[in-house]
Amino acid sequence: MRDELLKQATRIVVKVGSSLIASRSTGLRPEQIERLAGEIAALRADGREVLVVSSGAIISGIKKLQLKEYPKSLPIKQAAAAVGQSRLMWAYEKAFEPLGIQVAQILLTHEDLADRRRFLNARYTLTALIGFGVLPIINENDTVAVEEIRVGDNDTLAAQVAQLVDADLLVILSDVDGMFTDDPRKNPDATLIPLIPDITEEVERKAGASSTFEGTGGMATKVRAAKKVGEYGVATLIVNGQQPGLLPRVLKGEPGGSLFLAKERRLNSRKHWIAFTLRPRGHIRVDQGAVEALTLRGKSLLASGITEVTGQFDSGDPISCINQDGKEFARGLVNFSSELLGRMKGLKTQDIQQQIGPQEYDEVIHRDNLVIL
């Protein structure tokens, strides 16, 4: 199953960590970027479509600005990103030009992906670039992204790009070999796990425990990214990007890395966008009857099943649905504001019409706008 999946993956998103192509002491490492370019060119020569999500801009800018330490304030980080981003793209341009590959820079924020129209526009742009044979190189738009519109980390961004372009495979190039049974720096008997069929709570726990030896971002963020794209039907390969030639060999079926399989249940693009790209603006607590209606019978959420409304949100905003124990079990786009919903909670439709007045919708969240997690 593993070999077949890796060999057949046609559209691949490759996430490149900053530790692979840059260091704080030297800035960008052109020789590493050139090696990576050769490996990506080899994938393209095999008929693969590749998109790159690359870190490294801020570290490149730190070196150029001669900063003595990693900046803590947002304006200094953004200044470093502004200086470093152009240098990073120029390094990629120089590396791919001798190979006959054109590159294009794409800068995104969470706001771009959270707005459905802009999300689709980004999808069409990336698809057009692929059609022209251009290699998209994607990064977060750090120079303008304040905390509210940040994606957060490039593992998450890569997962969202994989969904954005309907990728077959997400590859996360790391500075370790993959997911281990234990922390290999503490336990010499720890072994690499080549195939992870399902991301269980135990897998997530191990990933969190191993984050100290994995490098920037940590194994936990990579496993979370794998879990997100897995819901969309995309597998994730975590592989050591510091070993020359390993990536092309692994994608031809040779051993290496850890492959996280996708869920058999594939969310469509819009529902995956609701579940994993949007950030909930509030929470709705529902009774057990509503939980069963939503999860077992595929029903829409009605006001009668709601027991509590928290947060401030407007009609059309994403919200989280929690059960009586406080556990989130669904997300969706709500049809009413938090203020109005606070008055409607627990009421049947006919009572809402009598006590509050006629409403445009009967459903608080329609099942077409609801995702069971």
Q: Residue 263: which residues within 8 A CB-CB, separation 6 or more?
A: 230, 231, 233
221 known member of a binding site? yes
Was 143 annotated as part of a binding site? no
The answer on whether 174 is annotated among ligand-binding residues is: yes
Residue 236, annotated ligand binder?
A: no
Report whether 257 belongs to an annotated binding site. no
Residue spans of beta strands (DSSP E) within 327-369: 328-333
335 a known binding residue? no
Q: 103, 130 in Cβ contact below 8 A?
A: no
The secondary structure of 10-49 as a DSSP string is -EEEEEE-HHHHEETTTEE-HHHHHHHHHHHHHHHHTT-E
On whether 218 is known to bind a ligand per the annotation, the reply is: yes
Is 289 within any annotated ligand binding site? no
154 is known to lie in a ligand binding site: yes
Say how far apart CA 100 and CA 41 lie, in whole Å.
Answer: 9
List Cβ neighbours of 107 (8 Å cut-off, separation of 6 or more): 85, 138, 139, 140, 141
Q: Does 217 appear as a known binding residue?
A: yes
Q: Which residues pair with 331 in a beta bridge?
A: 320, 371
Distance CA 145, CA 327 (A): 30
Tell me if 261 sits within 8 A of 238, measured CB to CB: no
Q: Is 222 annotated as a binding residue?
A: yes
Q: How many residues does the chain have?
A: 373
Q: Is 15 labeled as ligand-binding?
A: yes
Determine whether the annotation assigns residue 315 to a binding site. no
Beta carbons within 8 Å of 21's beta carbon, 6+ residues apart: 28, 29, 32, 33, 36, 54, 55, 56, 91
C-alpha 135/C-alpha 39 separation (Å) is: 13
Annotated binding site for substrate: 55, 142, 154
Annotated binding site: 15, 55, 142, 154, 174-175, 216-222
Annotated binding site for ATP: 15, 174-175, 216-222
